[in-house]
Amino acid sequence: MSQSINLEPINALDHTAFVGAFSSVFEHFPRAAEGAWSERPFASPTALHDAMMDVVRKMDEQGQREFLNLHPLLSGANIRAGTMTADSNAEQKSAGLDAMSPADETTLDALNAAYLERHGFPFIICVRHYTREGIFSALERRIGRNTQEELDEALAQIAAITRARLNARLRSLN
């Protein structure tokens, strides 16, 4: 990926243009782009992504929890209602969450509620890396884990999600 992306134009963007181009990479969190801008020039797409992730990683636990709570629940109803960002909508559709049976939707809603109650933030997974069945299995398994493990896992999943989103943005800008 890094060999095919020319970062010179990205590195030359002023603050407003840079934030405008990358503010939606992180769900409802333009602060990642705002914080990364001062780290220019970026030698690679990985360096750009790392700078954005560092904004999240450097937050205290309460800030990270607030950040995680900006993310939508996995939900067929949310897809149909159009209440999510375009990226989240496309990602959840890619896993078939828009085509679940009523029984699966009820199960997913119950699992989401149990996870949220236990950990205090929504279940986050890079749905493009899983089948619908794999998502259900991971959710069932991760409900029982301790919350610190889940906080770490959620941030790792965010890194996978945002890496793919950033790569798509960079391809569209080149």
Lookup: tokens for 111: 């699992």
Give the Cα separation of 140 and 115 in Å (integer): 8
Count Cβ neighbours within 10 Å for each residue of 13-36 and write b for 16 or more, e otherwise. Answer: beeeebbebbebbbbebebbbbbb
Which letter does DSSP use for residue 97 in this model?
T
From the list 169, 174, 167, 164, the residue with the least C-alpha distance to 6 is 174
- Tell me the C-alpha to C-alpha distance, in Å, between residue 112 and each of 58, 123, 172: 27, 7, 34
Active site residue 71: yes
Q: Which of 28, 49, 71, 119 is catalytic?
A: 71
Q: Which residues are the active-site residues? A: 71
